[in-house]
Chain A
Amino acid sequence: MAAEAAPPHLELHGLEKRFGATRAVQALSLSVGKGELIGLLGPSGCGKTTTLRMIGGLMPATDGRIIVAGRDVTALPPHRRDMGIVFQNYALFPHMDVAQNLSFGLEMRKIPADERQQRVQRALAMVRLEAFAARKPRELSGGQQQRVALARALVIEPSILLLDEPLSNLDANLREEMRNEIRDIQQRLGITAVFVTHDQAEALAICDRIAVMRAGVLEQLGTPFEIYERPANEFVAGFVGRVNRAAGHRGADGRLLLGDVVLQGTGHAGAGPVTIMIRPHRIRLTDTPPEGIGWNSATGTVTRRTFVGDLLSIEVALGPASLLVEQHTFAGAVVAGPGDAVRLAWRAEDTLVFPASPAGVFPAPPAGVFPA
């Protein structure tokens, strides 16, 4: 997955969208390598779909430039951008059958009829829908419609594939299957793709790199590993994956305190109040905590225990903070229950430290743990 090394195929330079006084997308610059699958990830209203629509030409940019393979396409209408778009609601042509849906883009490109037919056949084979060529979209299941939409966007061999929340209308089982299928096809064709989603697991699973956005601003751009392990700020850490959040303090001497426990952490927060974030599954319950550099340990009291089959979640009160600990279960495991004192241990590098956010800007959820 060394897609970053590839020459940039899609470049955004200071891309901006304003609606009146609202800046839906703010000075967004990023560069996507040839054959790379980049995810635009963020909560609704973060500007990810607006960005995608500007790339596709469906919405004019207020400012900035969009470069594809060295060519400035900012001013081009969508039909001259050579981009395949998969829409959230699939947007199939209801009055045409599947083959006609696929053939439409080829007709617009004045491809001769016999070649058209071959390419439609190939595209249908790619999404395993050869038998459905004569069906109307309304006669297909959601997953099949999704695959037709993908084939229709790809049959024109676009220079870039844009996917706008393509999986959000599918049920959970199908979603995972389809995301892997999209990834497989994208890699097989080596096509540059932009994938908009609000689902962090989806983005982590299939993207080469992820651009995390919030309120029109790019918060972090990195590989799934970097985004998850080295989040740039509190927002990214909280949005991608589950995480404990606790208010701590860094002294002028550099000592990091959670209540009265001294911790080692990673991050660049200066002296003053800080937010300490630790992922629940990176904390161990252990009687013999590893000593020394690189490890934190503390003693707390179990306040709640929830068994969910493969996972056991244990809430531990630790001074002023409450930490959620997740353990994979195995038969015969002896686990503490409410009221028991337990020792916790976790690595220093799993202790993410950020400057405390100003009150009100980013309110903490009550449980101290972000939803997945």
Chain B
Amino acid sequence: MIRSGPGRYLFLALVALLFLFLLGPVLLVFPISFSADSFIAWPPSGWSMKWYAAMLEQPTLGVALRNSLILGSIVTVLALAIALPAAVALSRGTFPGRDAIMAGLTAPLLLPTIVLGLALLIIFVGQGLIGSWPGLILAHLLITVPYALRVLVTTLGTLPASVEEAASSLGAPALQVFFRITLPLMTPGLIAAAAIVFLVSFDEVVITLFIVGPHLTTLPVALFRYVESRTDPLVAAVSVMMVLFTLTLVVVLERAVGLRRAIGGKAG
């Protein structure tokens, strides 16, 4: 670490530059969302709240938002229901092929999403799953379960096995050990996993694009479609709302359970 002298200022400038590079585009949508123009331009010729007002009068986006929230909630519950037993089995059990199963369950993270999307399209078309809730839920589970599994396996890995052994030596059968000891101690990890799954689902565009239908779409896809046909600052206003929603969720969780620690990083 550079602690003093001109090097320190250079270092700080570099960090600031990196942050600007990463966050600049996101920050730019904030002023643009208050533009009075009818198209996205920089700098705006005037300021107004009219795109926020327009947003509320957009039925398509409203429905898409509702769909995204419902989808995210269902996917969160199901992803945890799948990942929790899998994580317990993978981190507490010893059986042949354990590493292979772990690799298989996290593999979807490594595939290009466009490939996954195409593959799902091909499979789903034959099953009548395109543009349907089950189709969307299945697709989102495919990409969110690996995240949930990773977080939960990490959480279980940091729980000392001796705590569970102590409970069992005190007379608790396996199920009691799980519900009285393991599960309560996993709470921060469960909340973190739920948050990540929800955000990934809420944010997902590429795969969802292949699967949505004319009557069922999600907010990111609806926004994408909107931008394709029009270029007014309405999308900026929606983006601001999405950024604020995500940020709020992350900050609240960080305060409540220490998100970074639950994900597996060092406590800050």
* Stretch from B105-113, B168-176, B253-261 at the A interface: B168-176
Give chain A interface residues in 262-278, CB to chain B under 8 Å: none
Tell me if A156 and B185 are in contact (CB < 8 A). no
Q: A94-B185, A95-B185 are in contact. Are A104 and B169 (CB under 8 A)?
A: no
Give chain B interface residues in 142-185, CB to chain A under 8 Å: 160, 162-163, 165-173, 176, 180-181, 184-185
Tell me if A79 and B172 are in contact (CB < 8 A). yes
Tell me if A84 and B162 are in contact (CB < 8 A). no
Q: A93-B181, A104-B180 are in contact. Are A79 and B165 (CB under 8 A)?
A: no
In the bound complex, residues from chain A placing their C-beta under 8 Å from that of B168 are 58, 77-79
As a 0/1 sequence over residues 67 to 100 of chain A, the CB contacts with chain B under 8 angstroms (1 = contact) are 0000000000111111111011101111100000
In the bound complex, residues from chain B placing their C-beta under 8 Å from that of A231 are none
Q: A95-B184, A108-B176 are in contact. Are A87 and B162 (CB under 8 A)?
A: yes
State whether the Cβ of A250 lies closer than 8 Å to any Cβ in chain B: no
Q: A78-B165, A95-B185 are in contact. Are A89 and B160 (CB under 8 A)?
A: yes
Tell me if B165 and A85 are in contact (CB < 8 A). yes
> Least Cβ distance of B267 to chain A in Å?
13
State whether the Cβ of A33 lies closer than 8 Å to any Cβ in chain B: no
> Least Cβ distance of B54 to chain A in Å?
49
In the bound complex, residues from chain A placing their C-beta under 8 Å from that of B173 are 77, 79
> Least Cβ distance of B172 to chain A in Å?
5
Question: Bound complex: CA of A133 vs CA of B162, how far in Å?
Answer: 22
State whether the Cβ of A188 lies closer than 8 Å to any Cβ in chain B: no
**What total count of A-B pairs have CB within 8 Å?**
64
State whether the Cβ of A355 lies closer than 8 Å to any Cβ in chain B: no
State whether the Cβ of A224 lies closer than 8 Å to any Cβ in chain B: no
Interface class of chain A by DSSP? loop
Please indicate which of the listed interface residues A77, A81, A84, A108 has the most CB atoms of chain B within 10 Å of its own CB: A108
> Least Cβ distance of B160 to chain A in Å?
6
Interface class of chain B by DSSP? helix
> Least Cβ distance of B186 to chain A in Å?
10
Q: Give the bracket for the number of chain B residues in contact with chain A.
A: 10 to 19
In the bound complex, residues from chain A placing their C-beta under 8 Å from that of B185 are 94-95
Tell me if B169 and A79 are in contact (CB < 8 A). yes
Tell me if A108 and B184 are in contact (CB < 8 A). no
Tell me if B172 and A108 are in contact (CB < 8 A). yes
Tell me if A87 and B166 are in contact (CB < 8 A). yes
Tell me if B171 and A156 are in contact (CB < 8 A). yes
Tell me if B169 and A93 are in contact (CB < 8 A). no
Tell me if B171 and A108 are in contact (CB < 8 A). yes
Tell me if A56 and B169 are in contact (CB < 8 A). yes
> Least Cβ distance of B88 to chain A in Å?
17
Tell me if B170 and A152 are in contact (CB < 8 A). yes
Please indicate which of the listed interface residues A84, A89, A91, A95 has the most CB atoms of chain B within 10 Å of its own CB: A91
Considering the complex, give the chain A residue whose CB is closest to the CB of B165. Answer: A58
The listed residue (A84, A104, A153) touching B172 by CB distance below 8 A is: A104
Tell me if B167 and A93 are in contact (CB < 8 A). yes
State whether the Cβ of A105 lies closer than 8 Å to any Cβ in chain B: yes
Tell me if B171 and A105 are in contact (CB < 8 A). yes
Question: Bound complex: CA of A94 vs CA of B160, how far in Å?
Answer: 11
Please indicate which of the listed interface residues B166, B169, B173, B184 has the most CB atoms of chain A within 10 Å of its own CB: B169
Question: Bound complex: CA of A24 vs CA of B14, how far in Å?
Answer: 56
Considering the complex, give the chain A residue whose CB is closest to the CB of B170. Answer: A105
Q: Which residues of B contact A (CB under 8 A)?
A: 160, 162-163, 165-173, 176, 180-181, 184-185
| 3 A-B pairs closest in CB distance | A105-B170, A108-B171, A91-B162
A–B pairs, 17, beta carbons within 8 Å: A57-B169, A58-B169, A79-B169, A79-B171, A82-B171, A83-B169, A87-B162, A87-B166, A91-B166, A93-B163, A94-B163, A104-B170, A105-B171, A108-B172, A153-B170, A156-B170, A156-B171
